């Protein structure tokens, strides 16, 4: 049995992950419009991963007898001054998501809800990877993005990202 407060936080996190998917698709829209289809593809794949995160959280609640309820997904409202801006916004967003996962984890820890802690371990690790990926993107862009050839090659590199369903996600 999951405590109501923890179940509510996980339910909220479903919405946050769906918003993340929406946000990253918005980034993809921007890059596609700029002719950077590799960047757009990278964020389309990222959006798929975020949707997977939402589904994993949903499944965990369902499998633990919790009635899941959906809230409205917010409209992404960012405007971008340059090609670096979405990458910086992405890093900032991932740090925010990490803080949300950490808050749920802390609540589970306080409640000695070891099952939820074990479930969340995957997300804690994933957030570490997502922050690093976002930071790496910024560094690469700062190093190579101001040169047309460098930007072209970076776009090619990002076009190669392959979506892998989160089968490696937590067992629920
Ligand atoms: Fe689902 Fe990017 O955090």
pLDDT tens digits, one per residue of 115-164: 999 999 999 999 999 999 999 999 999 999 999 999 999 999 999 999 99
Query: How far separated are the first and last CA of the chain, in Å rounded?
Result: 14
Give start and end residues of each alpha helix (H) in 65-172. Answer: 85-110, 114-144, 148-159
Give 129 Cα–ligand 1 centroid separation in angstroms.
10
* Rounded-to-integer distance, Cα 19 and Cα 164, Å: 20
Instruction: Give the pLDDT of residue 166.
Output: 78
Place of tokens 């918005």: 26
Instruction: Give the pLDDT of residue 169.
Output: 58
pTM assigned to the model: 0.94
Instruction: Give the pLDDT of residue 171.
Output: 52
156 — phi, psi (to 5°)? -60, -45
- Cβ count near 27 (within 10 Å): 25
Instruction: Give the pLDDT of residue 165.
Output: 87
Mean pLDDT of all residues in 66-91:
97
Question: Does 17 contact ligand 1 (Cβ within 6 A)?
Answer: yes
Mean pLDDT of all residues in 161-169:
79
Instruction: Give the pLDDT of residue 60.
Output: 98
Give 3 Cα–ligand 1 centroid separation in angstroms.
24
Mean pLDDT of all residues in 11-33:
98
Among protein residues, the one whose CA lies closest to atom 2 of ligand 1? 94
The encoded tokens of residue 92 equal 């900032």
Nearest-atom index, ligand 1, CA of 17: 1
How does DSSP classify residue 155? H
For 98-121, write each residue's pLDDT tens digit. Answer: 999 999 999 999 999 999 999 999
Nearest residue to 115 (alpha-carbon basis) of 54, 49, 60: 60
* Rounded-to-integer distance, Cα 85 and Cα 87, Å: 5
Query: C-alpha distances in angstroms, 103 versus 7, 31, 66, 124?
Result: 13, 32, 20, 11
């Amino acid at each position: 049995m999951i405590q109501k407060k923890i179940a509510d936080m996980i339910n909220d996190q479903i919405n946050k992950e769906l918003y993340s998917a929406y946000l990253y698709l918005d980034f993809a829209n921007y890059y596609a419009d700029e002719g950077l289809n590799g960047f757009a593809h990278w964020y389309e794949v990222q959006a798929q991963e975020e949707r997977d995160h939402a589904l994993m959280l949903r499944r965990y609640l369902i499998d633990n007898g919790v009635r899941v309820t959906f809230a409205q997904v917010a409209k992404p409202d960012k405007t971008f001054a340059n090609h670096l801006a979405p990458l910086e916004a992405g890093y900032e967003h991932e740090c925010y998501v990490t803080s949300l996962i950490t808050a749920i984890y802390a609540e589970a820890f306080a409640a000695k809800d070891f099952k939820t802690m074990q479930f969340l371990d995957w997300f804690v690790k994933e957030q570490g990877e997502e922050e690093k990926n976002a930071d790496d993107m910024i560094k690469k862009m700062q190093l190579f993005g101001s040169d047309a050839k460098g930007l072209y090659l970076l776009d090619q590199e990002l076009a190669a990202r392959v979506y892998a369903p989160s089968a490696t996600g937590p067992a629920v």
